[in-house]
Copies of this chain bind each other. A is one copy, B any other.
């Protein structure tokens, strides 16, 4: 941590700050510049939040942290990539996992048919919402436990493991007992009670980035889950909120190399929610594969016009099958296993 003092601090003030830094258990090194004095505080990083109290000291202009605040999610803890396996689906370390399915579970026929057909087309995991976070209290909120049962039926018929969203900490056990992996949605990326409970449950977690979450905050949310003992976290970039409105959100494709540089966790792309437009999904899946992402999560519906939510962004099953064929061709470029 670097502590920048205000212009014109007297020597006595500088010494008082140094004393304070030392009291907090750090070593202090002052650098007297032409216009400013800065103090470097050296010590165990985990305790650096103690130093943040210094920001309220009148002569302190600002604190500049030097280290990233996450540990377990960082490469400093683990150099080699984490491979998350959910049944036959693998993410990370050269594996490109493909998750497909409808926004919402609607009927047994819909989800079972989708599961069988996306499996055949090349998907390795099924997705489908049973508990839906909806902006409007009047919109369809999902089939809840009935939806979980239908997902389990689809798994039985297709052999695909499934991931589904949990939105309430109280439902973690309920959802977790049915599902192969738990999804924590964009709106809940800083729902810390949910992160903790899901982390404790232990099943793999697909953690979606929030609309306005920085990559650092995103990794801090993963840290919450990891700190509860869960080791299998799949990060999912699904677009951030910007001024651009040609797409529903703005896919931050750079998050892939940034996260690969900072973390050992796999990072996948959800181009369906990022854009909200079906036609943009295939090119962004290709971009994801080419830049080294560890998988994709795409919305597929047997009849998008009848979907109860997010129809315009859902691929038809035949489109999805064509997409997988293209992705397999593309995977030769970097040797990703699908």
Q: Using a CB–CB distance below 8 Å, which chain A residues touch chain B?
A: 2, 4, 7, 29, 31-36, 38, 40, 42-46, 49, 52-57, 64, 66-67, 69-70, 76, 133-140, 167-170, 187-188, 190-193, 196, 210-212, 214-217, 220, 223-224, 227, 240-247, 250-258, 261, 274-275, 278-280, 283-284, 286-292, 304-309, 311-312, 314, 326, 329-330, 333-334
Residue in contact with A252 in the complex, picked from B43, B192, B212, B250, CB distance below 8 Å? B250
Residue in contact with A193 in the complex, picked from B42, B167, B211, CB distance below 8 Å? B167
Shortest beta-carbon distance from A208 to chain B in Å: 13
Shortest beta-carbon distance from A210 to chain B in Å: 8
A212: chain B residues at CB < 8 Å are 210-212, 241, 243
Cα-based distance from A34 to B34 in the complex (angstroms): 27
Whether the Cβ atoms of B304 and A280 lie closer than 8 Å is no
Chain B residue with Cβ nearest A248: B254
Shortest beta-carbon distance from A221 to chain B in Å: 8
Chain B residue with Cβ nearest A48: B138
Cα-based distance from A90 to B43 in the complex (angstroms): 48
A223: chain B residues at CB < 8 Å are 136-137
A308: chain B residues at CB < 8 Å are 53
Whether the Cβ atoms of B284 and A257 lie closer than 8 Å is yes
Whether the Cβ atoms of A283 and B312 lie closer than 8 Å is no
Cα-based distance from A93 to B223 in the complex (angstroms): 45
Cα-based distance from A173 to B66 in the complex (angstroms): 41
Whether the Cβ atoms of A38 and B56 lie closer than 8 Å is no
Residue in contact with A244 in the complex, picked from B76, B135, B252, B256, CB distance below 8 Å? B252
A258: chain B residues at CB < 8 Å are 246-247, 280
Whether the Cβ atoms of B305 and A56 lie closer than 8 Å is yes
Chain B residue with Cβ nearest A70: B136
Whether the Cβ atoms of A224 and B279 lie closer than 8 Å is no
A192: chain B residues at CB < 8 Å are 133-134, 137, 167
Whether the Cβ atoms of B246 and A254 lie closer than 8 Å is yes
Given contacts A192-B134, A244-B240, contact A66 B250 (CB under 8 A): no
Shortest beta-carbon distance from A159 to chain B in Å: 29
Whether the Cβ atoms of B36 and A38 lie closer than 8 Å is no
Residue in contact with A254 in the complex, picked from B66, B255, B274, CB distance below 8 Å? B274
Given contacts A38-B66, A246-B258, A274-B254, contact A312 B215 (CB under 8 A): no
Cα-based distance from A192 to B188 in the complex (angstroms): 10
Whether the Cβ atoms of B35 and A45 lie closer than 8 Å is yes
Chain B residue with Cβ nearest A305: B56
Cα-based distance from A220 to B241 in the complex (angstroms): 18
Whether the Cβ atoms of A42 and B33 lie closer than 8 Å is yes
3 closest pairs, A vs B, by CB? A56-B311, A212-B212, A290-B290
Whether the Cβ atoms of A290 and B292 lie closer than 8 Å is no
A-B contact pairs, 18 of them (CB 8 A): A31-B40, A53-B305, A53-B306, A53-B308, A56-B314, A167-B191, A168-B169, A212-B241, A215-B246, A216-B246, A246-B254, A247-B258, A253-B284, A257-B280, A258-B280, A286-B291, A287-B287, A287-B290
